[in-house]
Amino acid sequence: MEDHDRRSEDDQGPADTGGDGDRSDRVEESLLEDEAADAERGRDEIRDRQEHGGDQAEADAQDHGGHEAGGDHDHGGDHGDGGMHAGHETMFRRRFFVSTLLSIPVLLYSETLQEWLGFSVPAFPGSEWINPVFAVIVFAYGGVPFLRMAAPELRDRTPGMMTLISMAITVAFVYSLASVVFPTQSAFFWELVTLIDIMLLGHWIEMRSVRRASSALDELAQLMPDTAERITDEGETEEVPASELEEGNLVLVRPGASVPADGVLEEGESDVDESMITGESTPVGKEPGDEVIGGTVNGDGSLRVRISATGEETTLAGIMRLVEEAQESKSQTQMLADRAAGWLFYVALGAAVVTAVAWTIATGFESTVIERVVTVLVIACPHALGLAIPLVVAINTSLAARNGMLVRDRIAMEQARTLDTVVFDKTGTLTEGEQGVVDIATVDGVSEEDALRLAATVEGDSEHMIARAVREAAEERGVSRGSATEFEALKGRGVRATVDGERIHVGGPNLLSELEGDVPADLERFADRAGENARTVVYLIRDGEPVAAFALADVIREESYRVVDALHELGLEVAMLTGDSEDVARAVAADLGIDTVFAEVLPEDKDEKITELQEQGKSVAMVGDGVNDAPALTRADIGIAIGSGTDVAVQSADIILVQNNPMDVVRLVKLSRASYRKMKQNLVWAAGYNVFALPLAAGVLAPIGILLSPAVGALLMSLSTVIVAINAQFLRRVDLSVPSLPGVSAPKEPRPAD
């Protein structure tokens, strides 16, 4: 049977370069490299002793850049660096547990905590050194990494979370050690270790939330077979590595095998599954002279293909280059908590200077002045600030998963609130991606039910996509199939069988040409209209006379109508990318109410169309399911993959819709907006502590006898942490039900995509 022509939607276009790289890749780079070097040295020693071991997690991080938790993030720039985030998570987790364990003696021997909680621990010779010794170890192991990660912020003159943490723990550390030599009224040992522990916990939670196992390029590479059957000059076949193929080689592609490289079909006919490249569900019929793409899967025919491109010249390699270039050109996105931390850093420094000057003028320069300044600088970094964002992120990720959204990049989730344009791929995303009967025409005396019964009976045992569509149409109308005998498949033309003593054929135009039957005028007009809309036409022929025609097309998902309406209600524009003709695309857009249409999209255009929208100042999300969508998914501000799509599309995306429901895009935007509101609320609570505590620590109310001691400041710090944790839990109450917006409704019957 002859399907209508389709434009290939392979995406091979050039990718724009952009950005200066991800600053976050520099933040922890030296830290992780040092950890990897330490691990390597340890393995060398172990190998010398012929033993096994080593810290593989640190080794995995050796060749990767850093991801500064709480710093700037590239939402898609490290899709291929899954080991990087795993290494960070391992590092923070290990340091948190070790530091927390080492902090226990410090807490137990803290006089302040003993007084507050009413307990005591036995003293012994040298017990007075427990706090300073263990605090030094915790600082060196758990605190120094923050100092290392603050260096790029200071070099770039953009202080953030790392700078604020580093300032607080360094001041507390130096002052506390000084208090051992020069006794003062207070030391900050327990505040120091708990601050380090909380910050390590927050960064571990964050790393666990943002960790992703991105492997888009690996998935693309896996589409290509490792070996190929090359035909020698003598006509024999030899199995060779696919990498050894050269242009001009003739290869044998057996039924069900993958095409090893781009080429031209010289001999054989078959339907080739190109869905992993184009995203199109319909197998493409191939005849001698047609081009075939490396990585596609042959159907049930045996093919001989003359290789025309290998290695970097293949279509698949072009797509891989696009994905890689798009990943590298992402712009930097500064995190909300980091901006808040930057402001607090400057506020703390200003408050410390004012405190020092004011107290020096009032009392003269003495130890009290130093204690006041230190107190201001230490409590400027509240524990709550380290948890304000990670806690929301963890709950956000959990909620997303329960609602069918797998978050691979948490910055993408945060950015979803700023979207103003959502671009959908048509086939398999807005449509079912499978053929369905959308219209029927019959001659006088033949009802549509009779035509469906005969066609479904003949196609009863066929697994062809058109046969399935006919059977499903019959089932939907409650038409029962009869029994057929003498069934025969006519390759490339259709099928025939005997039903109730009548010879019945079902097939396309090629079958009509072979039977030389005259097509009734009504059916001919029906076929012409269907052809104008790029629909596939299949005829039912009874005893040599065409008596019915079926128009098949990709059917629009029922949810697509609702998702477009819902996105409009949220104030977003909706666009569609398709390789279909302009007329078909406009018809679908009008049916769905889509604002912008990019039709007849050439392979390179999907990536370029996203860039075109971004150059207009729009924040763009791309929703797709095919390999050809991978560069556009990566190029977009947010890439959203339908879960039923190809592995490459899924691995290239920031968000995966596990339930294959485009309506989850609406839930994504709603959850992102709710999460951002909760983040801001938490930051208000965390920073609000500073607004209250810093003036008191500075001694604003000292003239009336109110002076905030470091111990009370630590208590208030803990209280703000509890409030932030409770407030984050309220995010679980967000209503993500859809439709919950006015005007969002679904049509009674699904309509064709064409």
Whether the CB-CB separation of 75 and 333 falls below 8 Å is answered with yes
Rounded to an integer, the average pLDDT of 643-668 is: 74
Of 746 and 421, more confident? 421
Rounded Cα distance, 419 and 621, in Å: 7
CA-wise closest residue to 260 among 228, 218, 305: 228
pLDDT of residue 62: 32
Q: Which of 448-462, 586-600, 704-718 has the lowest mean pLDDT?
A: 704-718
Whether the CB-CB separation of 640 and 623 falls below 8 Å is answered with yes
Q: pLDDT-based confidence at 684, cuts 50/70/90?
A: confident
pLDDT of residue 649: 58
pLDDT of residue 3: 39
Cα–Cα distance list, 476 to 518, 554, 721 (Å):
31, 16, 58
Of 701 and 21, more confident? 701
Rounded Cα distance, 94 and 475, in Å: 59
Whether the CB-CB separation of 61 and 87 falls below 8 Å is answered with yes
Of 24 and 529, more confident? 529
pLDDT in tens, 542-571: 888 898 999 887 778 888 888 999 999 999
Judge whether residue 10 has pLDDT over 60: no
What residues are annotated to the active site? 425
pLDDT in tens, 344-374: 788 888 888 888 888 888 888 777 788 788 8
* Residue 135: half-sphere exposure toward Cβ, Cα within 13 Å: 28
pLDDT of residue 739: 54
Rounded to an integer, the average pLDDT of 621-638 is: 82
Whether the CB-CB separation of 517 and 494 falls below 8 Å is answered with no
Rounded to an integer, the average pLDDT of 40-54 is: 41
Judge whether residue 4 has pLDDT over 60: no
Rounded to an integer, the average pLDDT of 49-63 is: 36
Q: pLDDT-based confidence at 469, cuts 50/70/90?
A: confident
pLDDT of residue 257: 87
Cβ-based neighbours of 529, under 8 Å, separated by 6 or more? none
Q: What one-letter code names the amino acid at 150?
A: A
CB atoms within 10 A of CB 491: 11
pLDDT of residue 65: 33
Pairing mode, strands 270-273 and 297-298: antiparallel
DSSP summary character for residue 258: B
Rounded to an integer, the average pLDDT of 216-236 is: 75
DSSP summary character for residue 183: -
pLDDT of residue 603: 53
Tell me the average pLDDT of the chain.
Answer: 75
Rounded to an integer, the average pLDDT of 500-515 is: 83
Rounded Cα distance, 73 and 371, in Å: 37
pLDDT of residue 465: 75
Rounded Cα distance, 100 and 113, in Å: 16
Q: Which of 12-26, 505-519, 521-535, 716-730 has the lowest mean pLDDT?
A: 12-26
3-state secondary structure of 548: strand
Rounded Cα distance, 688 and 684, in Å: 5
Rounded to an integer, the average pLDDT of 58-74 is: 35
pLDDT in tens, 276-287: 665 455 677 888
Whether the CB-CB separation of 95 and 668 falls below 8 Å is answered with no
